[in-house]
Amino acid sequence: MKTIQGQFVDIENRKIFSAEVSILDGKIASVKEKNHTIQNYILPGFVDAHIHIESSMLVPSEFARLAVLHGTVGTISDPHEIANVLGKDGVYYMIENGKQVPLKFHFGAPSCVPATTFETAGAIIDSEDIKELLSSPDINYLAEMMNYPGVLFDHDEVLKKIAWAKHFDKPVDGHAPGLRGKDAEKYISAGISTDHECFTYDEANEKLALGMKILIREGSAAKNFEALIDLLPEHYENMMFCSDDKHPDDLILGHINQLCARAVAKGIDVFKVLKSACINPVKHYNMNVGLLQNGDTADFIVVEDLIDFKVLQTYIDGELVAENGKSFIKSVPFDKPNNFNVTPKSISDFKVEATSEKVRVIEALDGELITNEIHAEAILKDGNLISNVENDILKMAVVNRYQDVKPSIAFIKNFGLKKGAIASSVAHDCHNIVVVGTSDEEICNAVNLIIENKGGVCAVNGNLKKNLALPVAGIMSAENGWEAGKNYQEIDVMAKELGCTLRAPFMTLSFMALLVIPDLKLSDKGLFSGNKFEFVDLQL
């Protein structure tokens, strides 16, 4: 019998009292009031209600080693990214790797692989595959239904996937940025229960009124906390916290604990905050995560206070997995499956012959997944379109990683590079290579560095190169989380030294190929308008 003393935070009954928690065989044996002077607080562990583990650039076992430092005991994890590269095999890879460590990963069946027909992915997951995945006890839900047009227009494959989730009595996650009115009503009535893509108060409020649960997302690029947090005091029963995408350097600093601290700092009732952070995901997804009730698995944390939520200890299944900034989860060996079938490119592959003096330009917005379409004067050299560095209209390319075809080209504003180029094979959803640069030469060099490593993120400037190799499916590192975070941070610093003004250059870059988020994006097949849902011409 193991005992822990502290101030017990009873979230459901809204009270705090001096207590002793007894643990036997990994479960809560009892919680008893007891007089003592210990002022640390005992509460259920934090849960990230929607995250792509792959976006941390770490395999699940390495992600766990960092996450437990911040009191995270479980995640709702959509393996959509690796599924777009490796299909069902990628999903099973994540599950098996996650089982090697104590953190409680709850994986979903990716609903949209590929996310659209307008880009090239490495695999397809159809409704029969969804049936197979959802029949497994290791799959807990149908992951975000990005194809909301498919729901609205009653596409047979889309409806079959949702029907299988209902058959197996598993929740369906949503993904419908900006969807309002009758369209939102139809989408939700199809059985879709959550949305993490709301970027305005009014949109989230409308979806809450329609019975949807809303996730407040604060990731490395997409940050909706400030837009949505004022809804929590009234709607805390139907809200949760998530990161969606969390790069390794950010994960070293904090996780859901940071969002709790920010919410409390705004004067929001701590019990309502903790209900959203600890309780709601467990109940909505029927997670095998304990909530400090007698007989529950002993998954809980000890924090210094209920203001900053500094985590002193994290317990999972009654075992101490982290204490005072030290993780006790050990690294485990893992395979490095990949799917990189492209050969090095030449500078000429990135040249575009000018047919007009004006071009469409993607306007990237710092901290947002959405983009705007703007028009700008083209810069020509020897009859070809080139980057306009002075006016921050830079050439961008997406290179198909699965086969040798000519790269697609666009122009983008707000990256701010004055020299060099940055590139990444973490490019939602299909994880082709995405690159932004000041010249065709620099763009080509960056792309070839990614190809050489069969995946990675890099910054280049002449002979100066910094790179984080991502050999696991071209999107995850073979290093431990601390090393990956350190290397990634160095590349991030270099990108900013090259002139980039974005807070998270590579996270923003990764979303510039995400066609399901409006408006203007670039896939390996061409420039795409999310508002029109069709390809558009680069030159006007």
Whole-number Å distance between alpha carbons of 398 and 426: 11
Looking at residue 504, its pLDDT comes to 87
pTM: 0.94
Structural tokens at position 291:
């909530």
Please, are residues 176 and 155 in contact by the beta-carbon 8 Å criterion? no
Strands 239-242 and 41-44: unpaired
Q: Which secondary structure element, helix H or strand E, spans residue 148, and what is its range?
A: helix 148-152
- pLDDT score, position 507: 85
Distance CA 7, CA 116 (A): 50
CB-CB contact of 176 with 197 (8 Å) = yes
Question: Which residue numbers in the chain have pLDDT < 50?
Answer: none
Per-residue confidence (pLDDT) for residue 536, from 0 to 100: 97
Nearest to 429 by CA among 469, 398, 470, 393: 398
Strands 213-217 and 239-242: parallel
99 contacts: CB under 8 Å, gap ≥ 6:
none
| pLDDT number for residue 221 | 73
Is the distance from CB of 124 to CB of 157 less than 8 angstroms? Answer: no
Q: How many CB atoms lie within 10 A of CB 326?
A: 7
User: Could you give the CA distance from residue 220 to residue 223 in angstroms, rounded to a whole number?
Assistant: 7
Which superfamily does CATH assign the domain made up of 46-287 to? Metal-dependent hydrolases (3.20.20.140)
Rg (CA), the chain: 23
Q: Which residue, chain included where needed, has tokens 């998954």?
A: 299
Instruction: Using DSSP, state whether 339 is helix, strand or coil.
Output: coil
Enter the DSSP assignment of 388: B
For residues 36 and 31, give the distance between their C-alpha atoms in angstroms, rounded to a whole number. Answer: 14
Q: How far apart are CA 356 and CA 333, in angstroms?
A: 54
What type of residue sits at position 136? S
Residue 116 has a pLDDT of: 85
How many residues make up the chain in this entry? 540
Peptide bond into 429 cis (omega under 30): yes
- Strands 408-413 and 358-364, sheet pairing: parallel
The helix (H) or strand (E) run that includes residue 218 is none
| Delimiting residues of CATH 3.20.20.140 domain(s) in the chain | 46-287
pLDDT of residue 516: 81
Q: E strands, 85-238, where?
A: 104-109, 139-145, 172-174, 194-195, 213-217
Taking CA atoms, 123 is separated from 84, 113, 129, 251, 311, in Å, by 6, 7, 12, 29, 40
Residue 245's contacts (CB-CB under 8 Å, 6 or more residues apart) are 51, 52, 55, 219, 220, 221, 222, 507, 510
